[in-house]
Amino acid sequence: MRRTLVFTAPRQIEIREEPLPNPRDDEVLVETLCSAVSAGTEALVYRGEFPQLKDAHDALSSDLKYPLAYGYAAVGRVKVIGKLVHGNWQDRLVFAFQPHTSHFIIRPELLIPIPQSLSPESACFLPNMETAVNLIQDGAPILGERVLVFGQGVVGLLTASLLAEFPLECLVTADYFPSRRSALKNSGYRLRVTSYASLDSNAPDFHTLLSGYAHDGFDLTYELSGNPSALNDAVAATRFSGRVVIGSWYGQKRVPIDLGGTFHRSRIKLISSQVSTIAPELSARWDKSRRFGVAWDALSRIQPEKWITHRFPLGQAAAAYRLLDERPQETIQVVITYP
């Protein structure tokens, strides 16, 4: 039997069972070992806050409606191969953009083999690391710049980890939750930046503290918190002719953005960054395969498995989403397991 997590209504989850079909001649059957929960995107699906995106560039985000099997970070092992599939796929550890399900049938060309240097749980971070690589490419940090990152969830942490490999003058991150603010510094990962700090974005003196690191503003700011109001802070913290990269998906949340005042004369560039496409200025030289290669190498260096705070068996997935919804301050990465 195949067991699949299905979102049936806002804040309602079912685990549905169905007979497991046999793969066709050009398909394989994969048994899932673990799948990562995307705390930002899946929280919108869980709460029913997702918009209808008819023009989305990826099938995962288009025409969302209940009941819905959702998720895009599954790692498993190939158990059965079709007659036309090369034998080297048998028993291979693979990644797939699949919902949370115990088994799935798929064509091999849609699978991504996992390097031997990575555990299955670290490989679950591939979509978020690809997103982080895309964010770095879109922001294009420069030697000696001052960079600020709002949000230290998984995408924010991975982005900050990559930024920390650059010889920046300073890197500052900001988040509400203490465990996330300390995650990068306590990870043991080597930081090349001259100065690093992580600040409480909810502190009364937050803006004063920011000015201590960049008195005339940051050259490059990332908004990765998922909180629309943080975009105002991001714009306010960015200097003349700086860049603000917006990687958050706000769903149906709306907050007025202050584009009056100094913004009108600031020449700040607002950059929309989403991983389903590659920036036009790079697309002649970069494709998804090349970007995945960079993401795998980054995962091997960073080993983000250390940021998994909770593991839930598939049968207890409802508790996982309640935790993310009601007590997000306790979590960084939540993983579904398949015993």
DSSP string, 82-142: -TTS-GGGTT-EEEE---SBSEEEE-GGG-EEPPTTS-HHHHTTHHHHHHHHHHHHHH---
pLDDT score at 300: 95
Fold designation for 132-272? Rossmann fold (3.40.50)
* Better pLDDT: 200 or 190: 200
Rg for the chain, CA atoms, rounded: 20
Do 110 and 96 touch, CB atoms closer than 8 A? yes
**Span 297-308, mean pLDDT?**
95
State the Cα–Cα distance between residues 8 and 238, nearest whole angstrom: 42
What values do phi and psi take at 13, rounded to 5? -130, 140
**Span 208-216, mean pLDDT?**
93
Q: Poorest-confidence range of 74-78, 166-170, 261-265?
A: 261-265
Confidence check: pLDDT of 141 > 50: yes
**pTM of the predicted structure, to 2 decimals:** 0.92
**Span 56-83, mean pLDDT?**
81
Tell which phi-psi region holds residue 261, choosing left (phi > 0), alpha (psi between -120 and 50) or beta: left
Instruction: Report how far apart, in Å, the C-alpha atoms of 120 and of each of 77, 95, 180 are.
Output: 10, 9, 23
The C-alpha angle 319, 324, 326, rounded to 5 degrees, equals 90
Confidence check: pLDDT of 138 > 50: yes
State the Cα–Cα distance between residues 64 and 42, nearest whole angstrom: 12
Catalogue the E-assigned strands of 139-227.
146-150, 170-175, 196-200, 218-223
**Span 307-319, mean pLDDT?**
97
Residues 6+ apart with CB under 8 A from 97: 60, 72, 73, 74, 110, 127
**Residue pLDDT, tens place only, 4-59:** 999 999 999 999 999 998 999 999 999 999 999 999 889 989 999 876 544 443 44
The percent of residues in the chain predicted with pLDDT above 90, rounded, is 82
State the Cα–Cα distance between residues 309 and 330, nearest whole angstrom: 8
pLDDT score at 51: 67
Do 265 and 291 touch, CB atoms closer than 8 A? no
Q: What residue ranges of the chain are covered by domains with CATH 3.90.180.10?
A: 2-118+303-337
Q: What single-letter DSSP state applies at residue 40?
A: H
**Span 304-311, mean pLDDT?**
96
State the Cα–Cα distance between residues 24 and 174, nearest whole angstrom: 49
- Map residue 182 onto helix, strand or coil: helix
State the Cα–Cα distance between residues 107 and 130, nearest whole angstrom: 22
**Residue pLDDT, tens place only, 89-120:** 999 999 999 999 999 999 999 999 999 989 99
State the Cα–Cα distance between residues 324 and 8, nearest whole angstrom: 18
Residues 6+ apart with CB under 8 A from 42: 70, 71, 321, 324
Q: What residue ranges of the chain are covered by domains with CATH 3.40.50.720?
A: 132-272
Give the chain's length. Answer: 339
* Better pLDDT: 274 or 129: 129
Q: What is the CATH number of domain 2-118+303-337?
A: 3.90.180.10
Compute the mean pLDDT over every residue in the chain, rounded to the nearest whole number.
92
Confidence check: pLDDT of 124 > 60: yes
The percent of residues in the chain predicted with pLDDT above 70, rounded, is 96
**Residue pLDDT, tens place only, 227-281:** 888 999 999 999 999 999 999 988 777 878 888 878 888 999 999 999 999 999 9
